[in-house]
Amino acid sequence: MMEFKRNVRVIKALIEIRFQNLMMFRLGFFGPFFVDGSLFIIQLMVFQAIYSNVDRIGTWGRGEMIVFIGTFSMINAINMVVYFFGINGLPQKIKNGDLDLYLTKPGSPLVRMTFEKINPGSLPLVGMSVLIIAYGIHQLGKPISGGAIAGYLFWIILMTILFYEMEVIIRSICFFVLSNANVTRIEEIGLELCMKIPGIVFYGGYKLLFCCILPYGIMATIPVQSLIGELSVMGAVYGILLTIIFTIITKGVWKQGVRCYNSASS
């Protein structure tokens, strides 16, 4: 409990420092709002081109697909706002020895790295994702209960955690090898594919890869299934267990990586 309270205080301090630094350069604060918003519009136009002539993908109609697109966009937007820019710099910090500064400071170095570069410039992506999700729910043409929305929000949070864990694991590979460029490339390809195709269409080896080993295929699929009432008990248990398993793997990889880390001062 004491460690949790200390980490909360560290996170609060990091957010305050981050906003103070951003507001010193107003263009650096407000510029990303327009850049990320423009990129989101371009992305939406691409999705529109893909799905304009498609009535169904698997068992999902147009409404479900729109909610799916908005859901993946929401998870990615939260990622961009909260932890991406902090975690993405981990490989470089390992290579040049900057990780020393984190290991010698009080508190968890991973927590500090996660929240030190919060990016409010990506907040428009969150708002636009909400609009897409709302439009998709409207397109479903059926009432959505408050319980379904609560369950959907629960899965958004859980899948965002899973997304975070994947990012940490992939970037922690640099503790053990010279470069994780090839693995990062696989991550990019997997994300690009799974942002366009829901996990319900994966079978065989693709299902094993994208719903288990690199579980990007379930990150937006399970929340949508929960919202529309298609998520089975086994599916829910699987999603929760997989997140727990990856939490354990993330902690193990991080601890082992820190043990293997060759300090710049050594």
Please give the pLDDT value at position 16: 56
**Longest CA span, the chain:** 63
Is residue 57 helix, strand or coil? strand
Listed range (64-78, 117-131, 158-172, 227-241) with the worst mean pLDDT: 117-131
Name which residue leads in pLDDT, 20 or 172: 172
CA distance 95 to 66: 41
| Average pLDDT over every residue of 34-52 | 65
224: exposed, middle or buried (Cβ count in 10 Å: 0-12, 13-18, 19+): buried
Nearest alpha-carbon partner for 182 in 169, 166, 170, 168: 170
Contact 169, 188 (CB under 8 A): no
pLDDT category, 151, cuts 50, 70, 90? very high
Name the DSSP letter for residue 104. T
Mention every residue, 6+ apart, whose C-beta is less than 8 A from residue 26.
none
pLDDT above 70 covers a percentage of the chain that reads: 78
pLDDT at 11: 57
Q: Average of pLDDT values for 18-39?
A: 54
- Rounded CA-CA distance 181/27 in Å is 31
Mean pLDDT value across the chain: 82
Is pLDDT above 60 for 26? Answer: no
Average pLDDT over residues 16-33: 52
What residues does 57 pair with on adjacent strands?
A: 60
pTM of the model: 0.84
Tokens of 93: 């910090």
Q: Which of 55-59, 60-64, 241-245 has the lowest mean pLDDT?
A: 55-59
Q: Which residues pair with 121 in a beta bridge?
A: none
